[in-house]
Amino acid sequence: MTLAARPADPRAPVERSGGDPAIVRISGFSFARNAVKLYYPIREAILSVLPIVDEFVLAWAPGDAGDETRDVVEAIGDPRIRIVEGRWEEERLGARAYSEMTNLALDECSGDWCLYVQADEVVHEEDLPLIKARCQQLLGDRRVEGFLFDYLHFFGDYDHYQPGHGWYRMEIRIIRNGLDIRSVRDAQSFRHPGQRRLAVAWSGARIFHYGWVRPPRLMQDKDKEFLAHRRGRTAIEAAYREAPAEMDYGPLGRLPVYRGTHPAVMRERIAEMDWKDKLREEDPPGTRRWQLHKDERRKYRLLSAIERWTGLDLNHKNYGRLIKV
161-162 and 170-176 as β-strands: parallel, antiparallel, unpaired?
unpaired
Answer whether 30's CB lies under 8 Å from 117's CB: yes
Cα separation, 229 vs 90, whole angstroms: 7
The rounded mean pLDDT for the chain is: 92
Q: Is the pLDDT of residue 20 over 70?
A: no
Query: Smallest Cα–Cα separation from 26: which of 7, 45, 9, 49?
Result: 49
146-155 and 170-176 as β-strands: parallel, antiparallel, unpaired?
antiparallel
Mean pLDDT within 111-117:
98
Q: Is the pLDDT of residue 6 over 50?
A: no
Angle, alpha carbons 300-302-308 (nearest 5°)? 100
What's the whole-model pTM score? 0.92
Mean pLDDT within 24-37:
97
pLDDT at 3: 32
The three-state DSSP-derived secondary structure of 132-186 is HHHHHHCCCCCCCCEEEEEEEEEECCCCEEECCCCCCCEEEEEEECCCCCEEECC
Instruction: Spell out the domain ranges in the chain.
Output: 1-325
pLDDT at 231: 80
40-58 per-position pLDDT tens digit: 999 999 999 999 999 999 9
Burial class (CB in 10 A: 0-12, 13-18, 19+), 222: buried
Cα separation, 261 vs 89, whole angstroms: 38
Q: Is the pLDDT of residue 15 over 70?
A: no
Answer whether 176's CB lies under 8 Å from 300's CB: no
Predicted confidence band at 211 (pLDDT cuts at 50, 70, 90)? very high
Q: Is the pLDDT of residue 179 over 70?
A: yes
Residue 190: HSE in the Cβ half-sphere, 13 Å Cα cutoff: 26
Q: Is the pLDDT of residue 164 over 80?
A: yes
pLDDT at 1: 29
The dihedral formed by the CA atoms of 220, 224, 227 and 228, expressed in degrees to the nearest 10: -170
The DSSP H or E segment spanning 48 is: helix 42-49
Q: Is the pLDDT of residue 9 over 80?
A: no
Burial class (CB in 10 A: 0-12, 13-18, 19+), 256: exposed
Answer whether 23's CB lies under 8 Å from 16's CB: yes
